[in-house]
A and B are shown apart, each in its own frame.
Chain A
Amino acid sequence: MPNDFSRAVIENNPAWAQLLGLCPLLAVSNTVANATGLALASAFVVIGSNTSISLLRRIIPDIARLPCFVLIIATFTTLTVMTLEAYAFDLYSRIALFVQIIVTNCMILGRAEVFASRQPVGRALRDAMGTAIGFAIALLTLGAVREILGQGTLMADMDMLFGPAAASMQVDVFSTPPLSLALLPPGAFLIAGLLFALVQGLNNRTRVAKDEPDATVTTERS
């Protein structure tokens, strides 16, 4: 039970383990600022909707559970859209489309159906936080690599999100961007594929390392 959080972040990571929510992940991860905006928006929706669904699970009619889940997720998505449009308008202008389609993100609906609708609030909240952080790690990693390669900067335009003081967070890594393709959709697919392969490779290596002592014991016994 305590590892609901870590399982959601690593083993069941929505991006690299389940390959869910790839549309916004690839579309919006061209800079760290955009990725942060979408990560915060997705986190609010997944945590809010999963907690609400868990709280309401005893009154949600089984026969109409999917429409109810979608209604709750759509409500949280709309709250996010309104808040962004009111208080982070520049960012909203850039990523609004992808915030609006959070409502169809199968990562969120999947966690609602598989976990939140069957578990108490505490577990649903931990799972939602793990899912949100796992998705944010994937988004921010992809955003950082793409921004450095495609734009030569890191954390540019953070003032759109955190106000004028955050403009100083920008780091200039390259004077000339080494790979402009990284900002374009094909670059998103290539870099995401390479990152996911890297994570998979590390997972396999860890698994082999865990299995090896057992293999030795088996050999000695035999």
Chain B
Amino acid sequence: MPKSLVTAVALLVIGGLCGLALTQTHQLTRAPIKDNRIRQAQALLSELLGRQAPTDLRWVAGVANACGDWQFVRGAKQGYAGPIEYLALLDSERMSLRVTRHQETPGIADFIDYDKADYLPNLDNSAIDAWAQIDNISGATITHKALRAMAEQARTQRRDAREQANCEAANA
């Protein structure tokens, strides 16, 4: 048998064994991982809302509770090292925001991690216009540009969702 064929078969066997181990473990851990992620998301929603968040929220185009008194908006904006994902609570013209996932430089952009710094929690319930004008911190100007863009995006997304759901007619 040619040596290259032996090499190819060996690689296939090794790759197959690794793939099998991964798929089996994925099957075993999928359910508890999903439960953990839901629990974490629910805890974050409740923290933003200041009370137990409803468990039956319906998300349409990244907006939950579009026709209610408050809305959750989730989205992403480009940061320095990739997309920064966020979750915002919009209550009339006020907004609270948490970054849920990012790849910004550790040490420089730690201030957007709500579990490491109080920067974002301290801005809770600020006016959306104030969010859109927050000052830069030296060294993290692109991250701040993303935060300002998130405020604009969340407001636009909420407006679009409310129009789509025809909230005025629904509330009338």
Q: Chain A interface (Cβ within 8 Å of chain B)?
A: 56, 59-61, 63-64, 68, 71-72, 74-75, 78-79, 82-83, 85-87, 89, 93
Contacts and interface: CB of A to CB of B under 8 A. Distances in A.
A86 B32 contact: yes
B82 to A, nearest CB: 15
Interface residues of B, number: 20
Contact of A79 (B6, B25, B36): B25
Which applies to chain B's interface (DSSP): helix, strand, loop or mixed?
Answer: helix
Which applies to chain A's interface (DSSP): helix, strand, loop or mixed?
Answer: helix
A85 B36 contact: yes
B40 A82 contact: no
Contacts, number: 50
Contacts of A71: 14-15, 18
B18 A60 contact: no
A83 B22 contact: no
Nearest to A72: B18
Interface in B11-26: 11, 13-15, 18, 21-22, 25-26
Given A79-B21, A82-B29, A83-B29, A68 B14 contact: yes
B13 A59 contact: yes
A55 to B, nearest CB: 10
B33 interface: yes
Given A86-B29, A87-B32, A78 B22 contact: yes
A28 B73 CA distance: 34
A82 B25 CA distance: 8
Contacts of B32: 86-87
